[in-house]
Amino acid sequence: MNTQKENIDDIKIVKSITPKYNEVGVSSFQMTYWQEANTIDGNQEEGESLTLTMINSTGGEEDWFLKIETGKGGFSLNKPEDLQVIVNDFYKRFSI
């Protein structure tokens, strides 16, 4: 993994789910980050992944919350700053 000063070249975005909509607008936005270096024979399902989802259950503009989940293989961080790099990347891509 990399620090904030570096790119996240060893992390690949393997799934970018189109924002889901309901009657009041965008209800969720999800992205999965996958560590290429920590896969089992290149199998993304068995490798290490981290899924970040922004969810808005009420439809209010300020009612978003972030849900973080790991895949079957968990997700390894070398240092706490690595998570900040991923979250910053996610927020840059998330816009409503």
| pTM reported for the whole predicted model | 0.68
71 in a structural domain: yes
**Residue bearing tokens 């896969």:** 39
Decide if pLDDT at 85 tops 80: yes
pLDDT tens per residue across span 37-63:
655 565 556 678 888 988 887 777 778
Paired sense of beta strands 64-70 and 48-56, if any: antiparallel
Rounded to 5 degrees, φ, ψ at 65 are -135, 155
6 in a structural domain: no
41 in a structural domain: yes
Provide the number of structural domains found in the chain: 1
